[in-house]
A and B are shown apart, each in its own frame.
Chain A
Amino acid sequence: MTVYHDSFPWLTIIGLIPLVGSFLLLVPGFADLAIKRIALLVSLVTLGWVAVMTADYNVHKAGFQFAQSTSWIGQFGIRYAVGTDGIGLVLILLVAVLVPVVILASWHDAEAARPTATSVRTFFSLLLAMETLMIGVFAATDVFLFYVFFEAMLIPMYFIIGAFGGPQRSYAAVKFLLYSLVGGLLMLAAMIGLYVQSVHQLGHGTFDIFALEKLHLSTGLQDWLFLGFFIAFAIKAPLWPFHTWLPDAGAESPIGGSVLLVGVLDKVGTFGFLRYCIPLFPSASKTFAPYVVALGIVGILYGALVAMAQRDLKRLVSYTSVAHFGFIAMGVFAFTSQGGTGAVLYMVNHGLSTGALFLVVGFLIARRGSRNIDDFGGAAKQAPILGGAFLLAGLSSLALPGLNSFVSEFLVLVGTFTRYRAAAVVATVGIILAALYVLIAYQRTMQGPLKAGLEKMKDLDVREIAVISPVLALVVVLGVYPKPLIDIIKPSVTATYDRANRHDPAPLDASACPLPGGYDGTGKTLPDFLTPAQYAAVKQGACS
């Protein structure tokens, strides 16, 4: 794995901008409106920097770019090491895009949820702090540094849910925190295990991922360490059956928090699979891959079915995410360039589509003051723009071809199909269920006769249109022209799999088959004169 160091500290600066902004907001004396404007400005400046950095990213180099490394805690070989490949880059881009959207979407939420003098500055300061930590978690190339960001991220999120959330907020916040901490604990143990190994094998301890992946770990040890990391990430993602914190947290969090939580924070889990689990523990990844794929399938079907029966709009959206994360995990562990690329693209697309869905649902809830789906009905007539936005976001969620999610979902399915055929077939059934949960929700809220209490419902105002339209525009554009993102992601995914020594299976091509009569058709008698290609074709059953 090549690491391209950069004299200009891109990632550090990008990470620092929101942090400085976050502290700036705490300076007493700013009016609430000024605070909101500063927060928005800071997030937009960050977005600008990220955009410039992305333009500077060289898609032809598959390694880590913009890398920087300085000693931090020398005694333990801990370094402040950052750098990003295509996978991290697109996720940082996602963070940078979503945070301004979230800030604008939460314009009036803080004082509404918590009418105290300091609530606005606290809320926006927490949001900006989140941004720094999310960028850090995707940019870290030192396992310890990653762990610090990984855990620190919980703190602002805990307060966002716990202080600004719905009626059950403290339950949800504590559940979220405890789940994540348990996962973090397992990861910490596995991390220390790796460190001890590095001391034994290298003579000096290190947390540098590029050094750690060169360690020789016995199979048993690798399995245990893999599980430590995997469970932490599976809780974060969340995969079935570690998912039950998500509906609570997603439903009780304020809308901005839900978008960040489900749109970005959870991606750390699936990102961790690719960045840490697979390169660090290649053979264990291979061992556990079928089980992970199975968990993914369960999640796809289970999440969709449970989503269908939800009465709470936000819980419904949260459960759809469980299904989507099933797809992502399946794609990552299919170990094909299509599956992996599709999975990373899915992370971005899911951030956009579920983000849009949460935003729209948030607009609805704000208008009616209720999350219960039965309180809605026929709303599209009163608010056609809102209805259209809901439908478009929903269609993206059900992966309608032509919209962003389709590209990623199909890549995941095709990538899985070439390795785990049965799994992909079962997962494909998920697309029917996706249509059902989206359309059921749309029908109950938007179609049919107008429900009492909605007569005075207003359509989206200018601010809300400004919030939702960039996201929906991306939903369409990335569906029609996903190439720029794929170009960034694909080399890095292939490089990641190369590190774990996994490659795409060759297509079952009967053109490589030996001529009839050259073999007995059963694959039992394989004469020595077969070429490797012919041998592979017969082995794969293409010559039946």
Chain B
Amino acid sequence: MNPANYLVLAAVIFTIGAVGVLVRRNAIVVFMCIELMLNAANLTLVTFSRLRGSLDGQVIAFFVMVVAAAEVVVGLAIIVTIFRTRRSASVDDANLLKY
């Protein structure tokens, strides 16, 4: 088992997530892409944790999961509220907060 493969996989997932965030308009999809990026990071953390024989990385991965969960709660709530008022889940439509 070559740990580099895990890292490559994480990079691929992260890139997919990043591109998704940048190109997709639907807020739910963007959200999922963010989750992808977070999980790519988690995968990297766990891989390095394994490589170095220390548990620190795995602990941090748990932290990330918790934060991600909290973020999803708040984020979905916002998205739902926006959808209710504007009948749209497009992030480009929610551009009132600007110069």
Say if the two chains contact directly (CB < 8 Å). no
